[in-house]
Amino acid sequence: MDTITQEKAYEFYMLTNNTLTDMAEKRGIKKLNDYYELTDFNTCTEYGQLLNGLGKNTVARVFVQMAFHAQNATLISKIVNFEKNIPFLKRVLCGFEPKKFLSEYREAESVVEVLRYDGDKQEGLKWNDHKNKRERKDSLITGYAQALIDCANYLKNFKDAEAVRVDLESHYVRSNNKMDYENLIEYFHGIIPHRFSIALTCDFLKEFDTKFSDLCKPDIHVKDTLCALLGKKNGYYFTLKREYECIGQMQELVKLINEKLPKEEKITVYKLDRMIWLICSGNFFLHNTKSIKDTYLTNINDLVWA
C-alpha cells in the first residue's frame, strides 16, 4: 500500500463510517446494513423484484443483471433507464431468456431498432443521435445491443446461475504473473467484448455473487478517494493498468482496516466501496432518497422528450 500505515487506514475508515452515519441520520435512515449485501436482490426496488421473480438460480436472472450493469454508466443509463423501462425491456428482450433472445435477434442493428422509441405506441428508449456523425449514428445504443448479444451467447451454454458462477470463479485465480482479479476481468472481456469496461465488469461481478465481494468498482468516487488518501494527483487512475492497481489498493486497504477491527466488525471490499459511493453520490437508493443531481437530470430528460 502506498505510504499508508495500519493506523492511518483505520483512521480513514472511522472518518468514512462517521461521515456516512451522519449523512444517513440527517435523512432519517438509521440502518445501512442492506447496502452492504447484494443490493441487486433487494426487493424494495423494481429491479430487485424482477430478479427475485425470475428466480435466483436461473440463467434469465443473470442475463438481467448483465443487461442492467452494462448500462450502469452515466450516458447510457440515461438512455436505457432500466428500472423505469422494465416492462418494455422484459417484453422486447424475450423475458431475458438468452436462447429465445438469440432466436429473435441475429445482430445488434435489429436489437437497436426494437429498442428505439416508437411515437405511435408511446414506448421504447429515447436517445438523441442528431449530433453524431453518420458513421457514429446510434453508437451508444449499438454498443449496448452488442453487449446484450455477447451476454446471451455466453449464457446460452449454462443450465443455471450456479453453473455461471462456477465458470467465472474458475478464472478467479492468479496466473501468468497476473493478480486473480486481473485474470478474471480479462476472461470476462474475452467472452463479453462490448460495453463492459473494467468498472462495469466489477460492478456486475460484485453484485452477481458474494464470491466476488472482494472486488470494487473502480469508478470516479473510489479513484478520487484513493487519490486523496494516498496523495496522488487527480486523474492518476485513468489508465487500464492503474484501474487494476486501484482494485488491488482497495483490497490492501481493507486488509489493513480489518487488522484493527474486532472480528464481528470486519468489512469486505464490497462494503467499503459502497460506503464511499453513498457518501460521494448522496444517493441512498434503497430508501428512495435520490441525489438532487439524479432527480435534476431525470427532470431535464423528461422536459426534452415531453
The string of pLDDT tens digits covering residues 117-138 is: 999 999 999 998 655 554 467 9
pTM of the model: 0.91
15 φ, ψ to 5°? -60, -45
Per-residue pLDDT at 178: 85
Structure confidence by residue, pLDDT tens digits, 232-276: 999 999 999 999 999 999 999 999 999 999 999 999 999 999 999
Per-residue pLDDT at 2: 67
CA distance 6 to 254: 10
Confidence band, pLDDT 50/70/90 cuts, at residue 299 = confident
Per-residue pLDDT at 31: 93
Say if residues 271 and 11 touch (Cβ distance below 8 Å): no
Give me the count of residues in the chain.
Answer: 306
The grid cell for 19 is 461521515
Q: What's the chain's average pLDDT?
A: 93
Structure confidence by residue, pLDDT tens digits, 45-72: 999 999 999 999 999 999 999 999 999 9
Other C-beta atoms lying within 10 Å of the C-beta of residue 299: 10
CA distance 205 to 189: 12
Average pLDDT score over residue span 282-303: 74
Per-residue pLDDT at 237: 97
Percent of residues, the chain, with pLDDT higher than 70:
92
Per-residue pLDDT at 300: 72
CA distance 230 to 227: 5
Going by C-alpha positions, the residue among 33, 89, 42 that lies closest to residue 63 is 89
* HEC-encoded secondary structure of the chain: CCCCCHHHHHHHHHHHHHHHHHHHHHCCCCCCHHHHCCHHHCCCCHHHHHHHHHCCCCHHHHHHHHHHHHCCCHHHHHHHCCCCCHHHHHHHCHHHCHHHHHHHCCCHHHHHHHHECECCCCECECCCCCCCCHHHCCHHHHHHHHHHHHHHHHHCCCCCHHHHHHHHHHCCCCECCECHHHHHHHHHHHHCCCCCCHHHHHHHHHHHCHHHCCCCCCCHHHHHHHHHHHCCCCCCCCCHHHHHHHHHHHHHHHHHHHCCCCHHHCCCHHHHHHHHHHHHHCCEHHHCECCHHHHHHHHHHHHHHC
Contacts for 192 with CB less than 8 Å, ≥ 6 apart:
66, 147, 150, 151, 154, 201
CA distance 131 to 128: 7
